[in-house]
Chain A
Amino acid sequence: MSLTVTDLRVSYQTLRGEVRALDGVSFTVADGEILGLAGESGCGKTTLGKSLIRLDGRMRHAGGTVELDGRELPIADDRAMNAFRFREVSLVPQYSMSALNPTRKIGRMVAELLRSRGETPDRAKLESRLAQVGLPREVLDRYPIELSGGMRQRVVMVISTLLDPSLLIADEITSALDVSTQQAVARALLGFRDAGHVTSMVFITHDLALTARIADTIMVMYAGRLAEKAPAEVLVEQPRHPYTRLLVNALPEVGARHAGRRLTGIAGSPPSLLDPPPGCRFRERCPLADDGCAEQPPVTEVAPGHHVACWKV
């Protein structure tokens, strides 16, 4: 097992109290597996991604453990995590521009970065990795501003995986890109996994269709908890959780016409995580909810690898 997360709880300190953004989430990611993390804004997917590599100042580790390749990650200890970052756990952030130093050419920036980590820059390896994502070696002599958004995103991917980390976290990395660039970046991610440059991956996105194309397993989160986790194909073809079903039905596909089949949204909005109501968090918006849902549904395995947190399955 590459990554094992057990009952992870992370909260944000705000003036109005503690926001429980991640409220008891458990899952595993196997070696070579790409886990797609999907959900609406505020469901905790970015918080989960961040807590695997760096909790920022407002975030507090409220419980639970994260184990990577048999070793526990000291996620609450910012200093101790430094030994793992980049080498064991690495991140591709959403905005590539914010990850690149605008005053350095790419090649020099990478060399400085590696030296600061006590590694010797290996130009040949760097160039071969760039070639894998379809970038010419000339980009090393360019400033970040001279590259397009898709090129920059691929440069950041190459840098993040240069030390062959065990786990790569990709947080909404394609959201700011056009569809054709999005496809190139997504395929590059798959290529890196297949070549073994990164053992496993957590791919965070709000775009369920894109996740379905690249992830092996999809985990849908709702209001800080796991709603459903299943092999990608099972999740989009036979979702069991009412939330996943509604979500899949709310997605227009290319070619789907309003005149032909009217899609429906999900009425209402997720509960506030400041003081979340007890029981199933989706029950306010759920068409199947009844009094029994006032109790929190456990995550149950309904089929091998298919986990659902709902009383109604």
Chain B
Amino acid sequence: MLTSDMLKLDNVTKTYRVGALGGKAVTAVDRVSFDVRAGEVVSLIGESGSGKSTIGRMILGLTPVTGGSITVAGAPVRPGRDYYRSVQGVFQDPFSCYNPVFKADRVFRLIKETYHPGVPEDEWAARVRAAVRDVRLNPGEVLGKYPHQLSGGQLQRMLIARALLLDLKLLVADEITSMLDASTRVDVLNLLADLKARGLAVLYVTHDLALGTYLAERTVVLWRGTVVERGPTEQVFGDPLHPYTRRLLAAVPRLHAPWEDAPEVRSCLYHDTGAVGGLAEATPGHFVACARLSDCQGDVS
């Protein structure tokens, strides 16, 4: 049975030690809570330094959490073979994920050696071809080629195919389209959207708002390590309540409309409800934080 929350973050905090002797601490992620359900894409949006990649890395067990908890299908993050059978990540630069000396399909071979050593060769070959077809690639075009013979979009989709050969439940996609050309980018996005139908949970980490809204059912907006607004994508971007979200949206260049100034924030939900230090629920499922932003102070009446 699928649990409703495939991924759950509860007050997750990450502090890095900095300075010569590690005497100072920088809080990269501050009490972040959200969840991703099975069969859902959630986009995690933030500018550089907002902590979005750190969150992705913590979910993948690449860096430990300092406080709070992350659970995947009810169990805590435990990096290791069993964990990575169901949780995988795909990253920004597809070229650095392949060893240029070997053919690109070696990534599939490594999966077989680690996770499916007992599967007969011909059955494995059929599974690989099926996975490659699942990511809308032609097996004849991509198998047996070296990484430099393939495009970034093809390599990125092969990494997703690789993850599909496992018993994948959660995919963390960290800026996976930012190095791809516009003409192939949308194919990778459509693929992620299709994977939802298989019951996969996808956390789509990006700085690009247009790509985020295109895909996701729900959106989490991060600002300097904290969640400032989260909820259904239509509400977060259709009716943004937080001044930061509004400013971010207004700054995105649009193809068919001129830049406009961010609409003013008339009332501050945070102060109206008095939800100190947390998120206030504006409409069901749509949460907004506000008090920690300096712009907000002028709006308090």
Contact = CB atoms under 8 A, between A and B. Distances in A.
A179 B184 contact: no
B296 to A, nearest CB: 17
A49 to B, nearest CB: 18
Interface string B177-211: 00001111111011001000000000000010111
A257 B269 CA distance: 27
Interface in A157-206: 178-180, 182-183, 186, 206
Interface stretch (A77-85, A108-116, A258-266): A258-266
B251 interface: yes
Interface of B is mostly: helix
Contacts of A206: 181-182
Interface residues of A, number: 36
Interface string A245-281: 0111011111111100011111001000000000000
A312 interface: no
A271 to B, nearest CB: 12
B259 A179 contact: no
B282 interface: no
A250 B237 contact: no
Interface in B245-278: 247-249, 251-256, 258-259
A263 B237 contact: no
A40 B213 contact: no
Contacts of A208: 182, 255
Interface stretch (A16-24, A209-217, A300-308): A209-217
Contacts of B54: none
A31 interface: no
B190 A250 contact: no
B48 interface: yes
Contacts of A262: 190
A208 B183 CA distance: 12
B237 A255 contact: yes
Contact of A265 (B187, B247, B255, B258): B187
A257 B234 CA distance: 9
A194 B72 CA distance: 54
Q: Which of B207, B211, B233, B254 has the most CB of A within 10 A?
A: B254
B160 to A, nearest CB: 15
B210 A183 contact: no
B238 A40 contact: no
B215 interface: yes
A180 B184 contact: no
B47 interface: yes
Given A41-B181, A179-B252, A182-B251, A252 B189 contact: yes
A183 B258 CA distance: 12
B213 A257 contact: yes
Interface string A11-44: 0000000000000000000000000000011000
Contacts of A263: 186, 189-190, 214
A52 to B, nearest CB: 23
Contacts of A264: 186-187, 190
A266 B151 CA distance: 13
B213 A255 contact: yes
A138 interface: no
A236 B254 CA distance: 11
12 contacts: A40-B181, A178-B47, A179-B252, A180-B251, A183-B251, A209-B252, A209-B254, A250-B183, A252-B210, A252-B211, A257-B234, A265-B183
Interface of B: 47-48, 151, 153, 181-187, 189-190, 193, 207, 209-211, 213-215, 233-234, 237-238, 247-249, 251-256, 258-259
